[in-house]
Structure 1
Amino acid sequence: MTSPVLLITGASSGIGRATARLFAEKGYRVFGTSRRPEATAAISGVEFVALDVRDEASVKACTAQVLERAGRIDVLVNNAGYAMVGAVDETSPDEAQALFDTNVLGMLRMVRALLPTMHKQRSGRIVNTSSVLGFLPAPFKGAYASSKHAVEGLSESLDHEVRGFGIRVVLVQPNFTKAELGDNAVSVAASIEAYGLLKQRVSVATGKAMKAAPGPETVAAEILRAAEESYQMRRPVGSGAKLLSRLRRYMPAGPVDHSLQKTFALS
Structure 2
Amino acid sequence: MTAKVVLITGASSGIGFATAELLHEAGFIVYGTSRRANMASKYKFHLIELDLDQEDSVSQAVKKVIENEGRIDVLINNAGFALAPAGAEESSMQQAQAIFETNFFGAVRMTRAVIPFMRQQRSGLILNISSILGLLPMPFGALYSASKHALEGYSESLDHELRSQGIRVSLIEPAYTNTSLGVNLLEADAKVAAYQQIREKLQQQMMKSINKSDDPRVVANTILAVINSQHILPRYTTGKIAKRLKNLRRFAPVKIFDKLIQRSLKV
TM-score for the superposition, normalised by structure 1: 0.94
Q: Aligned partners of 1:203, 1:62: CA distance in 2, in Å?
A: 36
2:59 aligned with 1:47, yes or no? no
- What does the per-residue CA deviation read over 1:165-189, in whole Å, with 9 as the maximum and x for residues that have no partner? 1111111111012226523421112
Question: 1:12, 1:40 within 8 Å by CA — same for their partners in 2?
Answer: no
Structure-2 change in CA distance of 1:88 and 1:180 (3 Å)? farther
Q: Aligned partners of 2:41, 2:134: CA distance in 1, in Å?
A: 31
Q: Aligned partners of 2:227, 2:260: CA distance in 1, in Å?
A: 33
2:63 aligned with 1:59, yes or no? no
Q: Aligned partners of 2:179, 2:191: CA distance in 1, in Å?
A: 23
What are the residue-to-residue correspondences of 1:75-154 with 2, within 5 Å? 75-85=74-84, 86-154=86-154
**What is the alpha-carbon root mean square deviation over aligned residues?**
1.5
SS at match of 2:183: coil
| Offset, 1:41 | 5.9
Structure 1 unaligned runs (5+)?
A: none
Q: Once the two structures are aligned, what percentage of the paired residues are identical?
A: 44
Q: Which residue of 1 aligns with 2:224?
A: 224
Q: Aligned partners of 2:46, 2:117: CA distance in 1, in Å?
A: 20
Q: Aligned partners of 2:204, 2:260: CA distance in 1, in Å?
A: 16
Q: Aligned partners of 2:89, 2:116: CA distance in 1, in Å?
A: 40
| Offset, 1:235 | 1.1
| Offset, 1:198 | 1.9
Q: Which residue of 1 aligns with 2:247?
A: 246
Q: Aligned partners of 1:185, 1:154: CA distance in 2, in Å?
A: 25
Structure-2 change in CA distance of 1:206 and 1:182 (3 Å)? closer
SS at match of 1:185: coil
Q: Which residue of 2 aligns with 1:234?
A: 235
| Offset, 1:190 | 2.3
Amino acid at match of 2:3: S
Q: Aligned partners of 2:47, 2:155: CA distance in 1, in Å?
A: 26
Structure 2 unaligned runs (5+)?
A: none
Q: Which residue of 2 aligns with 1:167?
A: 167
Structure-2 change in CA distance of 1:228 and 1:16 (3 Å)? same
Q: Which residue of 2 aligns with 1:72?
A: 71
Q: Aligned partners of 2:144, 2:105: CA distance in 1, in Å?
A: 14
Q: Which residue of 1 aligns with 2:191?
A: 191
Runs of 4+ in structure 1 over 4 Å off: none
- Count of residues in Structure 1 that have an aligned counterpart in Structure 2: 265
| Offset, 1:233 | 1.4
Q: Aligned partners of 1:216, 1:40: CA distance in 2, in Å?
A: 21
Q: Which residue of 2 aligns with 1:260?
A: 261
Question: 1:139, 1:202 within 8 Å by CA — same for their partners in 2?
Answer: no
Q: Which residue of 2 aligns with 1:23?
A: 23
Structure-2 change in CA distance of 1:38 and 1:180 (3 Å)? closer
| Offset, 1:36 | 1.6
Q: Aligned partners of 2:141, 2:225: CA distance in 1, in Å?
A: 28
SS at match of 2:186: strand
Q: Which residue of 1 aligns with 2:38?
A: 38
TM-score for the superposition, normalised by structure 2: 0.94
Structure-2 change in CA distance of 1:182 and 1:208 (3 Å)? closer
Q: Aligned partners of 1:96, 1:77: CA distance in 2, in Å?
A: 24
Q: Aligned partners of 2:42, 2:126: CA distance in 1, in Å?
A: 25
Question: 2:40, 2:46 within 8 Å by CA — same for their partners in 1?
Answer: no
Q: Aligned partners of 2:184, 2:197: CA distance in 1, in Å?
A: 24
Q: Aligned partners of 2:207, 2:46: CA distance in 1, in Å?
A: 36
Structure-2 change in CA distance of 1:181 and 1:258 (3 Å)? farther
Q: Aligned partners of 1:131, 1:125: CA distance in 2, in Å?
A: 19
Question: 2:30, 2:46 within 8 Å by CA — same for their partners in 1?
Answer: yes
Amino acid at match of 2:81: Y
